Amino acid sequence: MTGGGPGAPSLERGYRRLLACYPPRHRRARGEEMVGVLLAAAPAGQRRPTGRETADLLRGAARIWLAPRSFAAPARGWRDALAVVSIALPLIMALRVVAETAGLAAAIYPERIYVSLTSDVVSLSPLSPGLVILLVVLRLRRTAAAVTLVLTAVLLAQAIRGAGAGLDSSIAFAASGYAVETVALAGSAGPRRGLRLMTWRGIAVAVTGTLAVAAFCAAVTAARMPVIQLPGARPSEASPSLLSALAAAAGVVVLAAAAAAARSGTGRRVLVLLAVPGCVLPAGLLTPWPGTGTVALVSYLPPLALAAGIVVAARRAARPGAGRAS
């Protein structure tokens, strides 16, 4: 070991500046150790990092940033939860679309014609989650992540344009869902591990919860949808505000029941992650309708707040000494 010699203070500062490019978690765990190794390897009299060292450190920083666990949650419990979500969420999204469409169809009275029901094919078609499921089954995880990222961008652009034709909560749910799916696909060990972690009990909770939420959303949407009133038709007797409150209450009950059913830490994390798109539905249904423009974007506040909370929790869990088996 040479220790850097007289130029060591400026050399050490140079190394530390380069190490600032590393993820904070990595700097905390290995920063001092790396400085020691770099100074030990530097020839005597070296005053600043060489071009080769700079390139090597920047390349190493990029590799660690791009490693899946850096992108999402380094703690094992969150990684496992993301793995479960990566396979469960597209299935839930497809089931919700099918169930809500069936519920809406059942709610259509003969004398009423709903308009704009199919104007939003991305958020209301089971084809989009179906494509994601197909890519996941074919083990094309990166392609699936790219597709969900594009779907998120398309839906967000649609929401910003206010082109939701009254289906803002559907668009917000799909956009939040695909955003979470992108993170889950890129930041976990993948759907294969998620499948191994899933149990029949968890699947039953997810299916029951999805069907319950979809049924209430269908009822509320049916009462709030724009209709072409045919001659002789009776006006709707349903009260949107009452149905909205019922939908929100149903959502809370379903989530509380699911949380009680999930006895493991990872199971609870799965529920929190699924709640990111899930909390859009009651929040969206409670916003004034038709909620285009700024009002429609209010639907995105609950999932954004919840996602921010998850990131903070995951980072705390990742701190040295904070790791616990779930």
Partner 1 sequence: MRAPAGLVMYHQSIYNDDMKQRALQEPAFLILTALAAGPQHGYGIMTDVAGISAGRVQLGAGTLYAALDRLSTGRLVEPDREEIVDGRLRRYYRLTPDGARALAAEAGRLRANAAAATRRLRQAGRLAGGPA
Binding mask 224-263 for partner 1 (x = CB under 8 A): -------------------------------------xxx
Segment contacting partner 1 (CB under 8 A): 106-114, 192-200, 283-291, 296-304? 192-200
The answer to whether 246 touches 216, Cβ cutoff 8 Å, is: yes
Task: Note every long-range contact of 229-235, with CB atoms under 8 Å and residues 24 or more positions apart, other chains counting.
Answer: 229/112, 230/111, 230/112, 230/113, 232/111, 233/109, 233/111, 233/112, 234/111
Q: At its nearest, how many Å lie between partner 1 and the CB of residue 213?
A: 18
Q: Which two tokens stand for residue 196?
A: 């191994």
Determine if 27 is a binding residue for partner 1 (CB under 8 A).
no
Within positions 256 to 295, which residues make up the interface with partner 1, using CB under 8 A?
A: 261-264, 266-267, 270-271
Q: Which two tokens stand for residue 9?
A: 């203070």
The count of chain residues that interact with partner 1, using the rule CB under 8 A, is 48
Binding residue for partner 1, selected from 197, 243, 272, 296, defined by CB under 8 A: 197
Cα–chain center distance at 252: 19
Identify the DSSP state of 290.
S
User: How many other CB atoms sit within 10 Å of the CB of residue 69?
Assistant: 19
Determine if 76 is a binding residue for partner 1 (CB under 8 A).
yes
Determine if 43 is a binding residue for partner 1 (CB under 8 A).
no
Cβ-based nearer residue to partner 1, 39 or 275: 39
Q: At its nearest, how many Å lie between partner 1 and the CB of residue 199?
A: 6
Of the chain, the end-to-end C-alpha distance in Å amounts to 43
Determine if 32 is a binding residue for partner 1 (CB under 8 A).
yes
**Beta-strand runs (E) in 144-186:** none
Q: Which two tokens stand for residue 155?
A: 């839906």
Binding residue for partner 1, selected from 46, 75, 80, 155, defined by CB under 8 A: 80
Query: Strand, coil or helix: what is 228?
Result: strand
Query: Which residues contact partner 1 by CB under 8 A?
Result: 1, 3, 26, 30, 32-41, 52-53, 56-61, 63-64, 67, 69, 76, 80, 84, 189, 193, 196-199, 201-202, 205, 261-264, 266-267, 270-271, 325-326
